[in-house]
Amino acid sequence: MSDYLIKALDKTKNLRLLTITAKDLVQEAQTRQDTWSASSAVLGRTLIAGVLLAGAELSDKEELTLRLLGDGPVGATVVTAQSNLTVKGYVKNPHIALPSKKAGHIDVKSAVGSGWLQVTKDLGLKEPYTGEVPIVSGEIAEDVAYYLTKSEQIPSAVGLSVFVNPNNTIGEAGGFILQALPGASDSLIDQTINRINELPALSTSFLAGMTPEDLARKILGTDCKILTKDEVAFKCDCSRKKYTELLRTLKSSELKAMITEDHGAELTCNFCSQQYQFTQEQLQNILDQKLN
Ligand code: ZN
């Protein structure tokens, strides 16, 4: 298991922590969408945030979608994570690289810009629930913490890290979400936040081989209790059937245009770049079924 998420509690059981290593997952997204450094950092951090939130908040067959709607060059970023800790996501503009703020530090804030962070949860109820906060930082971790604190009233600290190699492959990726449970005292929270503030840069530590368990002990103390360890992965749930359904929802005139003008259709999944080809005959079948 190379990518995984762990859940841990501090010894007083008033702080809950999730930590994750996700290099392969972010690498798969990078490869599928051919993202450049700034796009990889934005997409990777949002993917990690999605899995962490799914681990923290979802149960059986639920899903959540993060939409980072900034006015920066990367454009909208959309990530959907499932309760089984699989995740998919894309950025509107994959080919964004920006000058480093300092050596090896990607300017994620400028890549994201200002706008809104939306979190939609589909908990199997009639209507999915959406919470929204302004993008307060653009570094994504602080924005997710702000969302949790403001919109869900859960005092939280979040760290997200993606290191992009000079050849655009992913060197490391990981992060954490710390949540204060109702019994947590101010002194316990302060002490823990101090420990987080004193941590070296996450990317440096992950590159040096830090595991999610190591990170949990650094944040919660060596006497923390690790509860679960689960595999995480990039996974898209698209299928030919799904795209056939989508075509069926088009107006007959649009389908006719695809048949007579384009002589077929090629649809590409935003999330995983899988292509689905439909021939003229296949489109005609869909149109016939629609008209009957
Ligand atoms: Zn797909």
Please, which residues have CB within 8 angstroms of residue 172's CB and are 6 or more apart in sequence?
21, 23, 161, 162, 163, 203, 206, 207
Read off the amino acid at residue 194: N
Residue 55 has pLDDT above 90, yes or no: yes
Residue 1 has pLDDT above 80, yes or no: no
At 125, the pLDDT band (50, 70, 90 cuts) reads: confident
Distance CA 33, CA 94 (A): 7
Q: What is the pLDDT at residue 99?
A: 82
Residues whose beta carbons lie less than 5 angstroms from ion ligand 1? 236, 238, 269, 271-272, 274
In the predicted model, what is the mean pLDDT of the chain? 95
Residue 252: count of CB within 10 angstroms of its CB: 10
At 103, the pLDDT band (50, 70, 90 cuts) reads: low
Residue 211: count of CB within 10 angstroms of its CB: 15
pTM, two decimal places = 0.94
Cα of 39 vs centre of ligand 1, distance in Å, is 19
The CATH classification number of 4-234 equals 3.55.30.10
At 84, the pLDDT band (50, 70, 90 cuts) reads: very high
Identify the sign of the CA torsion 15, 12, 205, 29: negative
At 240, the pLDDT band (50, 70, 90 cuts) reads: very high
At 101, the pLDDT band (50, 70, 90 cuts) reads: confident
Cα of 237 vs centre of ligand 1, distance in Å, is 6
The third-level CATH classification (topology) of the domain covering 240-291 is: CBS domain Like (3.90.1280)
| Measured CA distances, 129 to 143, 177, 205 (Å) | 19, 21, 36
Q: What percent of the chain has pLDDT over 90?
A: 92
The ranges of the chain annotated as CATH 3.90.1280.10 are 240-291
Note the pLDDT tens digit of each residue in 13-50: 999 999 999 999 999 999 999 999 999 999 999 999 99
Q: What is the pLDDT at residue 18?
A: 98
Chain centre to alpha carbon of residue 134:
18
Cα of 235 vs centre of ligand 1, distance in Å, is 8
Q: What percent of the chain has pLDDT over 70?
A: 99
Quick one: which of 84, 154, 162, 171 has its CA closest to 119?
A: 154
Cα of 243 vs centre of ligand 1, distance in Å, is 10
The ranges of the chain annotated as CATH 3.55.30.10 are 4-234
Phi-psi region of 229 (alpha: psi -120 to 50; beta: other; left: phi over 0): beta
Cα of 87 vs centre of ligand 1, distance in Å, is 11
Q: What is the pLDDT at residue 53?
A: 97
Cα of 88 vs centre of ligand 1, distance in Å, is 8
Cα of 234 vs centre of ligand 1, distance in Å, is 10
Note the pLDDT tens digit of each residue in 128-174: 999 999 999 999 999 999 999 999 899 999 999 999 999 999 999 99
